[in-house]
């Protein structure tokens, strides 16, 4: 042992060993420190990253919100103007209904409706105003309203009707969604084809089926459409592309807000797209009363016999021509209608009448010969009861 102690090599080794172990310990500590630091840095980095993401998102959302607010109020003005113009046009149409100008007025009306619809669609994307309050309307009328909001409305044909109405709250959204569908259907099919609409009753409510004879959608387009129609759509006006494709985004939003369903996942029998709008029972009501006063009032007027043309339904000649019915005596003095007279005449009345009759015949006989030079028409028309003058 002592020899080891005296051996300088031993000491040298010992020193070396101690030095190495100290270094090792120190290094290990450094490594640990470094590792800690790296970990800290990593954490900080993630923190920063999430912070950055958050602020970017916030900025984006804020920008989106601001865009929405601006667009919303801008659209509100445009929608108001379009609605106002529509009212003016309605007035003009009744005012100049019998002139050739009506044709032009109808055309302006058509353009105005399309314009109004565009503004309305953008407003929907910006959570804005959907339009004035509407009365309950029949499904058929809502479909026709939608039809009127697109350019090629002449190509749309409604093949069936149902006896249901749509609640006032849902009239505008359903019309707008359908208009967007019809716009797609007419835009993506050739101009000489017809877009068919079938309205059907199904256990869940009512289906409005829109079939076009276009080229259909590619898988990519279909995926995009389905995404926009489902709830996973990106909200807002960003990302609609240029030119913007509002259609499905608008429809998706309206579906979510008002509780109806739209699907475009089937092909139409004509090779194009079949879009199906399912209106649940919550949005349906009984058929609203038609505002036109038409048949009932006319019929009563006819029955009363004082209409412009007496009732002819019962009387027609063999060859189908209406038979003229005898007109009722004209009542010159109001209230002197025959019904007002008592059924049984009193004695004095009877006497008066008979007296008048007698006087009449007497004067008739008396004036007969001297009136021979007069025309026969005047003689025959001589009056009874006025003779005492």
Which of helix, strand or coil describes residue 289?
Answer: coil
**Least separation in angstroms between CB 244 and other proteins:** 25
For residue 354, the minimal CB distance to other proteins (Å) is 23
Spatial separation of the C-alpha atoms in residues 238 and 357, rounded to whole Å: 96
Among positions 74, 78, 115, 134, the unique one binding other proteins when judged by CB under 8 A: 134
Token pair 């797609």 is at which residue? 184
Query: Is residue 171 a contact point for other proteins (CB under 8 A)?
Result: yes
Beta strands in 182-227 (DSSP E): 195-202, 205-211
Contact 228, 252 (CB under 8 A): yes
- Whether 157 contacts 147, CB under 8 Å: no
Residue 291 in contact with other proteins, rule: CB under 8 A: yes
Give me the least distance between CB of 388 and other proteins, in Å please: 12
Cβ distance to other proteins smaller for residue 92 or 207: 92
Using rule CB under 8 A, residue 175 touches other proteins: yes
Which of 48, 87, 234, 337 is in the footprint of other proteins by CB under 8 A? 87
**Using rule CB under 8 A, residue 58 touches other proteins:** no
Q: Return the closest-CA partner of residue 8 out of 22, 21, 23, 16.
A: 16
Q: Does 64 bind other proteins (CB under 8 A)?
A: no
CA–CA separation, 335 vs 340, rounded Å?
A: 7
Edge-to-edge order in the sheet of strand 137-138: 137-138, 165-166, 284-285
Query: At 298, phi and psi to the nearest 5?
Result: -65, -45
Angle between helix axes 247-258 and 168-187 (nearest 10 degrees) is 160
Strands 137-138 and 165-166: antiparallel
Which of residues 110 and 224 has its CB atom nearest to other proteins in the complex? 110
Taking the least distance from each CB to other proteins, the nearer of 292 and 343 is 292
Subset of residues 220 to 279 that bind other proteins, contact rule: CB under 8 A: none
Told to check if 153 binds other proteins by CB under 8 A, we report yes
Measured from the CB atom, the residue of 247 and 310 that comes closer to other proteins is 310
Pick the binder of other proteins from 22, 73, 230, 297 (CB under 8 A): 297
Report the residue from 241, 293, 334, 342 that binds other proteins according to the rule CB under 8 A: 293
E strands, 313-352, in order: none
Q: Does 29 contact other proteins by CB under 8 A?
A: no
Distance CA 269, CA 159 (A): 15
Tokens 């601006």 sit at which residue? 70
The SS3 of residue 169 is helix
Which member of 231, 317, 346, 375 binds other proteins (CB under 8 A)? Answer: 375
Contacts of residue 149, defined as CB under 8 A and 6 or more positions apart, other chains included, come to 113, 114, 116, 117, 175, 176, 179, 183
DSSP-derived secondary structure letter, 314: S
- Specify which residues 277 forms β-bridges with: 208, 262
Nearer to other proteins, 33 or 366 (CB): 366
Question: Smallest distance from the beta carbon of 309 to other proteins, in angstroms?
Answer: 5
Which one of residues 107, 163, 306, 384 is an interface residue with other proteins (CB under 8 A)?
Answer: 107
Can you read off the two tokens belonging to residue 285?
């009501």
ω into residue 2 within 30 of 0, thus cis? no
Residue 89 token pair = 């046009």
369 is an interface residue for other proteins by CB under 8 A:
no
Q: How many residues bind other proteins (CB under 8 A)?
A: 69
Stretch binding other proteins (CB under 8 A), from 33-41, 44-52, 153-161, 182-190: 153-161
Decide if residue 289 touches other proteins (CB under 8 A): no
Q: Choose which of 75, 124, 130, 137 interacts with other proteins (CB under 8 A).
A: 137
CA distance 17 to 25: 12
Q: Please tell me whether residue 192 adopts helix, strand or coil conformation.
A: coil
Q: Is 132 in the site for other proteins (CB under 8 A)?
A: yes
- 318 binds other proteins per the rule CB under 8 A: no
User: What residues line the site for other proteins (CB under 8 A)?
Assistant: 83-84, 86-87, 89-90, 93-94, 96-100, 102-103, 106-107, 109-110, 113, 129, 131-135, 137-138, 140-142, 144-145, 147-148, 153-154, 159-161, 171, 175, 290-295, 297-299, 302, 308-309, 311-313, 316, 320, 322, 374-375, 377-379, 381-382, 386, 389
């Amino acid at each position: 042992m002592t020899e080891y102690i005296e051996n300088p090599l031993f000491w040298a080794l010992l020193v070396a060993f101690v030095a190495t172990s100290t270094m090792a310990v120190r290094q290990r500590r450094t490594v640990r420190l470094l590792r800690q630091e790296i970990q800290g840095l990593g954490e900080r980095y993630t923190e920063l990253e999430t912070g950055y993401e958050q602020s970017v998102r916030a900025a984006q959302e804020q920008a989106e919100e601001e865009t929405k607010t601006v667009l919303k109020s801008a659209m509100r003005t445009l929608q108001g103007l379009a609605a106002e113009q529509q009212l003016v046009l309605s007035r003009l149409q009744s005012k100049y209904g019998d002139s050739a100008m009506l044709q032009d007025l109808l055309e302006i009306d058509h353009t105005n409706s399309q314009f109004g619809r565009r503004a309305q669609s953008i407003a929907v994307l910006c959570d804005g105003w959907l339009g004035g309050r509407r009365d309950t309307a029949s499904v058929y009328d809502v479909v026709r309203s939608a039809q009127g909001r697109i350019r090629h409305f002449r190509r749309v044909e409604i093949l069936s009707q149902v006896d249901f109405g749509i609640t006032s709250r849902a009239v505008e959204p359903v019309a707008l969604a359908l208009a967007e569908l019809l716009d797609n259907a007419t835009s993506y099919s050739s101009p000489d084809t017809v877009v068919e609409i079938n309205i059907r009753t199904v256990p869940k409510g009512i289906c409005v089926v829109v079939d076009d004879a276009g080229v259909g959608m590619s898988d990519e387009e279909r995926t995009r459409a389905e995404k926009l129609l489902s709830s996973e759509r990106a909200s807002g006006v960003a990302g609609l592309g240029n030119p913007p494709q509002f259609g499905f985004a608008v429809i998706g939003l309206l579906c979510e807000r008002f509780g109806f369903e739209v699907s475009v996942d089937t092909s139409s029998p004509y090779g194009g797209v079949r879009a199906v709008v399912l209106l649940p029972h919550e949005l349906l009501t009984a058929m609203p009363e038609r505002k036109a006063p038409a048949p009932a009032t006319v019929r009563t007027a006819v029955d009363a016999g004082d209409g412009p043309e007496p009732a002819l339904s019962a009387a027609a000649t063999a060859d189908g021509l209406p038979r003229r019915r005898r007109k009722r005596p004209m009542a010159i003095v109001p209230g002197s209608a025959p019904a007002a007279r008592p059924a049984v005449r009193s004695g004095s009345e009877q006497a008066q009448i008979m007296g008048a009759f007698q006087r009449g015949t007497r004067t008739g006989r008396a004036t007969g010969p001297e009136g021979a030079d007069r025309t026969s028409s005047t003689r025959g028309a001589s009056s009874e009861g006025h003779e005492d003058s």
